[in-house]
Structure 1
């Protein structure tokens, strides 16, 4: 019996007893000897098939490893296959098959974030080459991706927990912290969680056929990409009224008193305003019957009037395309619900008071 036949027989006898969660599919000798083993890690989405082939000069040459999976990405499988062959070369001149199988099982057990390998790589690219390593940390032991999004001196930090049934289950966003205004932190928290939910739950307002055809999609990259883009844009966003930056350069200068003019407000169309600018704009004529429109020079990329994920075909806007170089979405905010008649009445009273004061001043002169 040659060394290859001997090793294949050893794998047949020992593999399922010494490699946890493994199942032998094939052990073939002959002209093209190979071993095929299924390995999983107590999760439907962390399982793969290991195919071992023996080169003519084996064991002086390393064993050839091919990995296949219905759930793990090709890029991850290629990277892991190279690591397996590198590991096999440490055992040249000796049997290598069981060592490789144990290495694969241990690797997927110790690296549960392998199910979102491609998404993590995309996030690294989005963070740019100059980003420091602390902006994206992987906590494999706890299945957590920790992201810190930055815009100027402002930051938004959160933990993204990857559940066992990911991507069928959505990513769970936890432990958010930030030095942004509370209204923007609430927006980031709520919208990122909503994006993750839309990735795994079918829309309610569609027919039964569309609901049945819905397929969950990975949610990690979509949710964290939104946090990255929104946080970086907050720092440079201008108030549509005064055309100055909404946020002060230093977070310590933020106005937290919601009665002050410098307090930051976010409206339905997505734009940010200084509260004083917004009040002045809403209190001045004309007062159209349909309500005041946002005067911003462009539609906001993160308007509440749009779906972020939509159907499986991609994002679907619920408002018409921007054709006039203006936002032109009706201004709406929980604290600014004023009908046309009330607005006109308030403006008329203000004008009357100003005329009375002017008459008094003229009389005194």
Structure 2
């Protein structure tokens, strides 16, 4: 019995015993094929091993990795690491060693299932830092399978932790630990919208035909969710009030207006734009009063007016097409979305009556002044 045959006997006898959660698919002199973590379908990796002619004295075992879950970049990098590890053990049986090495790597680095998304987020953060010197950060917590984002925009910070479940990407990331020095209305928006983006990645819309429902597949939610948090936090401190054309947020969080009745209090309307409360009240209370209600006067549609913006090329294209269609109707002049706010629901007749009453009081005051003079 030659060396390879003895090693094959050892693999058949000990592989599934020594390497927990492994399954031998084939074991012959031409190919050894083993599934790692077969009990976790969204983390399974197939390892193919071949024995070269001069194995194991001068050549290491040949490794090929396959997976439907892990990215090609990860497979290439892990293959390189396994090749280096095998060369360190020339002259000895290498199959069980490299199989154990691969499985331990997957267990020690659970976030490798979303490697491409993490790399893309880091590129986005680096691009922001280069252009605006904004020190956002991305921290990996391999032990708990979590990704922590610290997004910055000016002096404002939003911190969120995304936990990656074992069934990812079939199950969306879980967002927790949100902390921020942004106004409460914006923190609520970030928390709610980011969860909605994550949900839409794995749950089909309610109004789908049977055929569309059959073709629905969950998509990865980590990048889409954290990209939204990063971009929104970065842009908040730069947004201008569409009425007075000055920045809505104070330069320093310590100067933020907390009194919800103050004119400088920050409000966010349903189309996504930010207003000073006083500016918004003034705009809504003055004519003209269109029959369908007032439209947002911002000069462009808000880039985050819809969660679909972050849901991929197809959805983005649809959202862009809808936005461009809306803009064409209004000759590209304004946002064009009806102004709505949960605290102020005023119909046209009520607004006109209030305006008329205000004008009547003003005329009465002017008459009194004229009489006294």
- TM bucket, shorter chain: over 0.9
Alignment partner of 2:182 out of 173, 180, 183: 180
2:262 and 2:26 map into 1 onto residues whose CA distance is 73
1:128 aligns to 2:126 (yes or no): yes
Alignment partner of 2:283 out of 257, 281, 291: 281
1:328 aligns to 2:314 (yes or no): no
- For 2:11, the equivalent position in structure 1 comes to 11
SS at match of 1:184: helix
- For 1:25, the equivalent position in structure 2 comes to 25
2:335 and 2:315 map into 1 onto residues whose CA distance is 22
Please say if residues 41 and 105 of structure 1, whose CA atoms lie closer than 8 Å, have aligned partners that are also in contact: no
SS at match of 1:363: helix
- For 1:307, the equivalent position in structure 2 comes to 308
Quote the offset at 1:208 in angstroms.
2.7
Please say if residues 125 and 136 of structure 2, whose CA atoms lie closer than 8 Å, have aligned partners that are also in contact: no
1:351 and 1:333 map into 2 onto residues whose CA distance is 25
Please say if residues 199 and 309 of structure 1, whose CA atoms lie closer than 8 Å, have aligned partners that are also in contact: no
SS at match of 1:10: helix
1:310 and 1:144 map into 2 onto residues whose CA distance is 22
Quote the offset at 1:9 in angstroms.
2.8
Quote the offset at 1:311 in angstroms.
9.0
Quote the offset at 1:351 in angstroms.
1.6
CA RMSD, aligned part only?
A: 2.1
Question: Which has a greater percent of helix?
Answer: 2
Quote the offset at 1:193 in angstroms.
0.6
Quote the offset at 1:310 in angstroms.
6.5
Change over 3 Å in CA distance of 1:106–1:134 after alignment to 2: farther
Change over 3 Å in CA distance of 1:311–1:108 after alignment to 2: closer
1:40 and 1:120 map into 2 onto residues whose CA distance is 23
1:192 and 1:321 map into 2 onto residues whose CA distance is 25
1:352 aligns to 2:360 (yes or no): yes
Instruction: Return 5+ residue gaps in structure 1 as ranges.
Output: none
- For 1:191, the equivalent position in structure 2 comes to 193
SS at match of 2:170: coil
1:245 and 1:20 map into 2 onto residues whose CA distance is 58
2:189 and 2:73 map into 1 onto residues whose CA distance is 34
Please say if residues 214 and 312 of structure 1, whose CA atoms lie closer than 8 Å, have aligned partners that are also in contact: no
Please say if residues 41 and 109 of structure 1, whose CA atoms lie closer than 8 Å, have aligned partners that are also in contact: no
SS at match of 1:314: helix
Alignment partner of 2:35 out of 26, 35, 38: 38
1:236 aligns to 2:209 (yes or no): no
Change over 3 Å in CA distance of 1:5–1:134 after alignment to 2: farther
Paired residues, number:
361
Quote the offset at 1:41 in angstroms.
6.3
Calculate the TM-score normalised by the size of structure 2: 0.91
- Report which stretch shifted further, 20-29 or 275-284: 20-29
SS at match of 2:126: coil
Alignment partner of 1:58 out of 55, 70, 91: 55
- For 1:259, the equivalent position in structure 2 comes to 261
Instruction: Return 5+ residue gaps in structure 2 as ranges.
Output: none
- For 1:70, the equivalent position in structure 2 comes to 68
SS at match of 1:210: helix
Quote the offset at 1:7 in angstroms.
2.4
Quote the offset at 1:204 in angstroms.
0.6
- Report which stretch shifted further, 243-252 or 108-117: 108-117
Change over 3 Å in CA distance of 1:209–1:224 after alignment to 2: same
- For 1:223, the equivalent position in structure 2 comes to 225
Alignment partner of 2:85 out of 79, 84, 87: 87
Please say if residues 41 and 108 of structure 1, whose CA atoms lie closer than 8 Å, have aligned partners that are also in contact: no
